[in-house]
Amino acid sequence: MKLYLLKPGKFNYRHHATVDPPGRSADHHMHMIASFNGLVCCINQLSDEHEVDYQIWICNPSTEETLLLPQGRPSVWTEPSIGVAYGPDISEYKIFRIFCVGKRNAGKGDYLYECEVYSSSTGAWRGIGPVLHLPMYVCFSPHRSGHVFAGGKIYWLVSLEDPAGIMLSVDMEENFEVMELPYYSTELREEDRITVATYLINLGGSPSLVVLHADYFDVWEWKEASWVFVIADEFDFMDFAEIVLFMTSSEKEILFVTDSHLWTYHLDTRKWKKRGRPPTRFTNPAIFPFTESLLP
């Protein structure tokens, strides 16, 4: 997996590192799912006939150090969801792993999910019991681990279904919460409601939703236990040739990664900027805020 740095403002690509730790499962691609305090969390798939699982790596691209986490409990029938939470201390983090333990009743399709937590302070997994939901697949992402960490909590999308989709959150103290997504009237056309191209981002420390429609998008921000509508605007690039593959934010800018370009949209000025082509054609790209660190 190749990592490139983009300096804010100019957005010039600079190759930073190639992550290929010894002992990784070479049959599958690595995917970066989080970045924090100079570290990145990567996963790559392991599988057999009945179990689908991941190796989980914590990597420091600047020092080329890698840490393979111990294997968690088996996940049956479906791959687990993974989320990364981190504290103010540069070496403090927790990995939450939601997995399937089987069916409640044989053949009924009623699956049971549990969560276990890996803590950087203990170096081991610890089970914390059942959870109600397994996070959903994120559009154009090859795994269920699309999440955002904001305001001290991890957030996952669970369902976009009418009348209101739901989101799952967990804090560093391991308390789970279920929240409804913003309401869209069922009288709207399907493409004007919540769509499968819905992305979670951290906008100024708050979890936010960017909902892509046919030729425009909406932005919602979670504030004081409710969704606040931020903005709706048109795409500058939606010619049906470019598909949004990943999204993140930096201050008041939202960064859209398509299969051929990087675009930014500024929430205050409502202006788009094309930031050029990637150094190589993107395959399952991920883009996160990152600060170089030489600390272990």
pLDDT digits 0-9 by tens, 92-127: 999 999 999 988 776 566 889 999 999 999 999 999
Q: Look up residue 72 and give its DSSP letter.
A: -
Q: Report whether pLDDT(164) > 90.
A: no
Q: Report whether pLDDT(57) > 60.
A: yes
Decide which of 263 and 162 is more confident.
Answer: 263
pLDDT digits 0-9 by tens, 237-254: 755 567 888 999 988 899
Element at 132 (helix H, strand E): none
pLDDT digits 0-9 by tens, 277-293: 777 666 778 899 998 88
SS (H, E, C) 154-219: EEEEEECCCCCCEEEEEECCCCEEEEECCCCCCCCCHHHCCCCCEEEEEECCEEEEEEECCCEEEE
22-31, 133-142, 260-269 — which one is most confidently predicted on average? 260-269
Which pLDDT belongs to residue 240? 53
Which pLDDT belongs to residue 238? 59
33-37, 100-104, 136-140 — which one is most confidently predicted on average? 33-37
Q: Look up residue 77 and give its DSSP letter.
A: S
Provide the residue ranges of all domains of the chain, joining segments of one domain with +.
2-276
* 21: number of Cβ within 10 Å: 18
Q: Look up residue 51 and give its DSSP letter.
A: B
Which pLDDT belongs to residue 168? 96
CA distance 66 to 32: 13
Which pLDDT belongs to residue 76? 84
In angstroms, the Cα distances linking 282 to 114, 245, 246 are 34, 9, 10
**Quick one: average pLDDT of 190-202?**
91
Which pLDDT belongs to residue 49? 54
Spatial neighbors of 108 by CB under 8 A, at least 6 apart, are none
Which pLDDT belongs to residue 138? 82
Which pLDDT belongs to residue 162? 63
Task: Answer for the pair 154, 165: CB distance below 8 angstroms, yes or no.
Answer: no
Q: Of all residues in the chain, what percent carry a pLDDT higher than 90?
A: 51
> Chain centroid to CA 235: how far?
22
How confident is the prediction for the chain on average, in pLDDT?
88
pLDDT digits 0-9 by tens, 36-55: 999 999 998 876 555 578 89
The domain over range 2-276 is classified in CATH as 2.120.10.80: yes
> Chain centroid to CA 170: how far?
14
Which pLDDT belongs to residue 239? 58
Would you say the pTM of this structure is higher than 0.85?
yes
Which pLDDT belongs to residue 241? 64
> Chain centroid to CA 255: how far?
14
Q: Report whether pLDDT(85) > 80.
A: yes
